[in-house]
Amino acid sequence: MTRFLLRLVILFLIPTSAFASDSDAVVVTIKPLHSLVQGVMGETGDATLLITGIASPHGLSLKPSQVSRLQDAKVVFYIDDAFESFLKTALASLPEKVRKVSLSHAEGVELLERREGGTWEEDIHGHEHGHSHAHDDNDDHGTEADNLHLWLDPKNAIHITRSVAAELGRLYPENQEIYNKNAKKQISRINALDAELRVRLASLAGRPYIVLHDAFPYFERHYNVLAVGSLTLEPDAPASAKRLKDIRAKIQESGATCIFKEPQFDDRLLQTAAEGMPVRLGILDPIGAELEPGADLYFDLMEALATGLRDCLTAHS
């Protein structure tokens, strides 16, 4: 009986932090990144998602409650303040105790430069993705010249997963083994999904389409699919008459069969561009606005993109 009681005492004296992190201490800005962070945390805690619902990071203004979450955090994971521009002032005012982690700086992450104009010329490989560059600790990564929808390349998602595991391990060293184990599982899951999507998308190579804004170059390059133009530079910005004219000309020239909208934004602009043209409207959502947050969201998002492309592009076969 004495030994039994001693074991119970020891069990209750073990710090709970060895099993569960502070629920509100880990804050993540957008859904895809939150999913990757939550996958690494597993049952050790729940990361706080800063941008909830169908809200977009484009043109966002922080609410007092969101600022409060940032102030109370121990670590904030975000893409880059050139992407989440609403964070610049908030990050500068955070207490020194808050660790700020830009995942565009994660080791191994590769960035693509922003494409110029509303229509893009094909290169000798059939695509125009802009130049790419890997992270360098001495550069200003990223910048306004970079396209920062970097999570849509599974290779970048793997580098982010590893970086998150290391960062969380610094914050909660007692959980490092758990984070490493969860990261390994998540990377295996990303690789398995990647292999599946490569097979599903192989037949779509070379089939041109138009997007609302240039959010998908990482997905395009990785899976060899072909967007030939975007209606706007930013999804909440109006398109000029010239840009609409250029897009309509590009549809005719390229033989594009689909224009893809994003669920967070009004589709009247796309309807105008498509009017009288032999194209179909589809949906591609780079951020998972209508998906349930959590560790599975990243995988649901990538599958939804592949399904959205196939459903629209093959309907005209």
Checking if the pLDDT of 204 tops 50, the result is yes
Question: What does the domain layout of the chain look like in residue ranges?
Answer: 2-106+143-196, 203-316
What does the pLDDT look like over 263-296, one tens digit per residue? 888 888 888 888 899 999 999 999 999 999 999 9
Q: Which of 296, 313, 59, 60 is nearest to 189 (CA)?
A: 296
Q: Domain 203-316 belongs to what topology? A: Rossmann fold (3.40.50)
DSSP letter assigned to residue 139: S
Which has more pLDDT, 177 or 142?
A: 177
Q: What are phi and psi of 140, to 5 degrees?
A: -95, 80
Which has more pLDDT, 269 or 155?
A: 155
Confidence tier at 18 by pLDDT (50, 70, 90): very low
Q: Which residues contact 164 (CB under 8 A, 6 or more apart)?
A: 36, 37, 40, 77, 103, 179, 183
Q: What is the mean pLDDT of residues 288-305?
A: 97
CA atoms within 13 A on the CB side of 176: 7
Token duo for residue 231: 């209606």
> Poorest-confidence range of 13-27, 112-126, 149-163?
13-27
> Poorest-confidence range of 134-143, 176-185, 302-311?
134-143
For position 142, what pLDDT does the model report?
54
Q: What is the mean pLDDT of residues 211-228?
A: 94
Q: Strand, coil or helix: what is 289?
A: coil
Percentage of the chain surpassing pLDDT 90?
A: 60
Same CATH topology for 2-106+143-196 and 203-316: the answer is yes
Mean per-residue pLDDT of the chain = 85
Q: What is the mean pLDDT of residues 184-198?
A: 98
Give the span between the Cα atoms of 287 and 262, in whole angstroms: 9
Q: What is the mean pLDDT of residues 39-55?
A: 92
Give the span between the Cα atoms of 93 and 123, in whole angstroms: 44
Confidence tier at 129 by pLDDT (50, 70, 90): very low
For position 310, what pLDDT does the model report?
96
User: Tokens 């970086």 sit at which residue?
Assistant: 163
Q: What angle do CA 221, 288, 79 make, to 5 degrees?
A: 65
Side by side, the strands of the sheet bearing 132-134 are: 132-134, 110-113, 146-147
Q: Which of 86, 76, 85 is nearest to 49 (CA)?
A: 76
Confidence tier at 230 by pLDDT (50, 70, 90): confident
CA atoms within 13 A on the CB side of 220: 27
Q: What is the mean pLDDT of residues 36-64?
A: 89
In order of 24, 26, 41, 102, 148, the CA distances from 98 in angstroms are 12, 10, 18, 13, 23
Checking if the pLDDT of 242 tops 50, the result is yes
How large is the greatest C-alpha to C-alpha distance in the chain, in angstroms? 85
Q: What is the mean pLDDT of residues 289-307?
A: 97
Q: Which of 222, 298, 216 is nearest to 30 (CA)?
A: 298
Q: What is the mean pLDDT of residues 73-82?
A: 95
Q: What is the mean pLDDT of residues 80-84?
A: 91
For position 8, what pLDDT does the model report?
44
Query: What top-level class would CATH report for the domain 2-106+143-196?
Result: alpha beta
Checking if the pLDDT of 157 tops 60, the result is yes
DSSP 184-227: HHHHHHHHHHHHHHHHHHGGGTT-EEEEEES--HHHHHHHT-EE
Q: What is the mean pLDDT of residues 75-92?
A: 92
